[in-house]
Structure 1
């Protein structure tokens, strides 16, 4: 397999208009969630992107083109594969304009048109694991010699359907996200547009491997055995042992059950447990975009020393978030767990410490 690298990154999120703004916001404690309502009496905290003016489509175009441009992908010939990863796609526009006649791939084609993209275009919509699966698919194409570069876009844009759905399942916190925390009581959702430009050209971060394990025995929750299998397969495909992992970026979003399941599974895989980090309290759970958004932000954090705040841990989990970046990180295991039984991990290698 040909080595695959992260050639560039872009991120538009509740933390700011670009990745530099997000890192700066983290250094100052992050950006507080804002209340968002779907109907009278149904309001939850939410990590929203700043309003940029215009209708849904105008704002979507501005955010997508900025993230893609920041990644450097638009400086290429744009002939490689483009992956659009999302769990909501353009449902916000459909809500706003009432147009429901287009198929699901219409949004990806619209994004490709905005970017002037000439290569093949793929839609990946596997719930919260969408962007992670898109990244693994793009890396496989490059690694096998079928492409020289690829662009992965994780996109979760404003809509009411997602928030209403999670709220109806009583999965949302009424106050704040507390990943692995004592008193955690649910998720806080968020919006983001993230871009990962992958290439054969060597750069600091290499995609060392990964795995996607589907176990639908609990359609709305993580399965401990599947989390273990995901980690083990990702390590094997990366040529690593558990002791080689210097940091685990957790799914941990503040769910009472899922955080406990993930922690228990990691105890099966790792002895001792490596340092842990979650970005859900800073970004919100950005659903289908989270795999790309969290990798973009985490790699920037490791390069700059910025770090998300950690809440008071739940001692029953025997796992707590690191309060500062580890002194040396060579290999990162980044996990995303999602509805429908998706359990996806990506392993990154930092060439600065390899």
Structure 2
């Protein structure tokens, strides 16, 4: 079977409209979230993409073309598979342009918008599994490449802001009024974020190989993290990658700032690893980008490693969790575990190997 490699990456998020500017902003300590009004008297902070004087659909198309070009993908005539991953899909388009307050439409409508922006000629797939969407899209694309059904594939993870999603998270009392503090003392909720990310995958060897992954669904806690599922997804990703827990040199955690879910994740990881490897989190800097987070955080992590930059915490950690976030990239890093947890009981994990190590 063929191996699957990351051949190119692109990212637009609150930190910047491309990977280079995002890493530079991260190295400077990040940016502040923007208050978003969901009603006359209710506002929540959100990490927003740089503003554009365009319609919602035009903003999406321009950003998708930009990140795909950064990933090395041509804008026309592509015949390989395109995977479009999102949680909110085209809800923002309905709010801003169509004015369809029923939030109806077809599940494939959003992917069609993305495909038209790229003039895509090949098969187009929608992956919408809440916050695990982009990571599951990467795993699906890798399956096609490993099986020989495709030489390369493009994954687009996209979440653009909309009042419906922000209001829903706020109504569930999941949002922080002041800032996300993953694993932090006094953490009081997550902050949502916009992002559009592109990952170009192929079968030709590059520095970064996707060694394996897993998707475990456990719906006993539809809006939270399930410890047994975290343990299972880590073990399954390690088995598929032919690795043991001691082979992992870094974990990109899910931690978004939830008082309960962060604690469950921390304790579950301690049951997988006798000695926890270094941990890294990005959600205090770009927000929880929902269905795009798997692609956005993978791209940002790789870019940070390549550029020699690293996120700073900037807040006190919860001492009761007994964990720490790394202050620099671990030396001699080879195998990285990336974890994402989402609504509906989705728990997805991916192992990324640095073949240059």
- TM-score tier by shorter-chain length is over 0.9
Deviation sequence 1:26-67 (CA, Å, 0-9, x none): 111111111111012211111000112111111111111101
The corresponding residue for 2:59 is 59
RMSD after superposition: 1.1
Q: How many correspondences in the alignment?
A: 353
Deviation sequence 1:118-140 (CA, Å, 0-9, x none): 11100000000000000000000
Instruction: Work out the CA distance in 2 between the residues paired with 1:78 and 1:331.
Output: 32
Query: Shift in Å at residue 236 of structure 1?
Result: 0.1
Instruction: Work out the CA distance in 2 between the residues paired with 1:73 and 1:270.
Output: 38
Instruction: Work out the CA distance in 2 between the residues paired with 1:234 and 1:73.
Output: 28
The corresponding residue for 1:329 is 333
Instruction: Work out the CA distance in 1 between the residues paired with 2:189 and 2:41.
Output: 18
The corresponding residue for 1:111 is 114
Question: How do 1:1-354 and structure 2 match up within 5 A?
Answer: 1-74=1-74, 78-97=78-97, 98-99=99-100, 102-310=105-313, 311-353=315-357
Three-state SS of the structure 2 residue aligned to 1:212 is strand
Of the structure 1 ranges 107-116 and 172-181, higher mean CA displacement relative to structure 2 is found in: 107-116
Of the structure 1 ranges 101-110 and 294-303, higher mean CA displacement relative to structure 2 is found in: 101-110
Gaps of 5+ in 1: none
Three-state SS of the structure 2 residue aligned to 1:135 is helix
Instruction: Work out the CA distance in 2 between the residues paired with 1:124 and 1:226.
Output: 21
Query: Shift in Å at residue 303 of structure 1?
Result: 1.0
Deviation sequence 1:185-234 (CA, Å, 0-9, x none): 00010000000000011111000000000000000001000000000000
Instruction: Work out the CA distance in 2 between the residues paired with 1:39 and 1:309.
Output: 33
Deviation sequence 1:170-191 (CA, Å, 0-9, x none): 0000111100111100001000
Query: Shift in Å at residue 19 of structure 1?
Result: 0.4
Asked if the contact 2:92–2:160 (Cα under 8 Å) also holds between the matched residues in 1, the reply is yes
TM-score, normalising length from structure 1? 0.98
Instruction: Work out the CA distance in 2 between the residues paired with 1:101 and 1:228.
Output: 36
Deviation sequence 1:118-175 (CA, Å, 0-9, x none): 1110000000000000000000000100000000000001211110000000000011
Instruction: Work out the CA distance in 1 between the residues paired with 2:43 and 2:221.
Output: 27
Instruction: Work out the CA distance in 2 between the residues paired with 1:147 and 1:114.
Output: 22
Three-state SS of the structure 2 residue aligned to 1:128 is coil
Three-state SS of the structure 2 residue aligned to 1:337 is strand
Deviation sequence 1:297-351 (CA, Å, 0-9, x none): 0001111111111131111111121111112210000000000000000100001
Gaps of 5+ in 2: none
Asked if the contact 2:16–2:50 (Cα under 8 Å) also holds between the matched residues in 1, the reply is yes
Moved over 4 A (4+): none
Cα separation, partners in 2 of 1:350 and 1:269, compared to 1, 3 Å: same
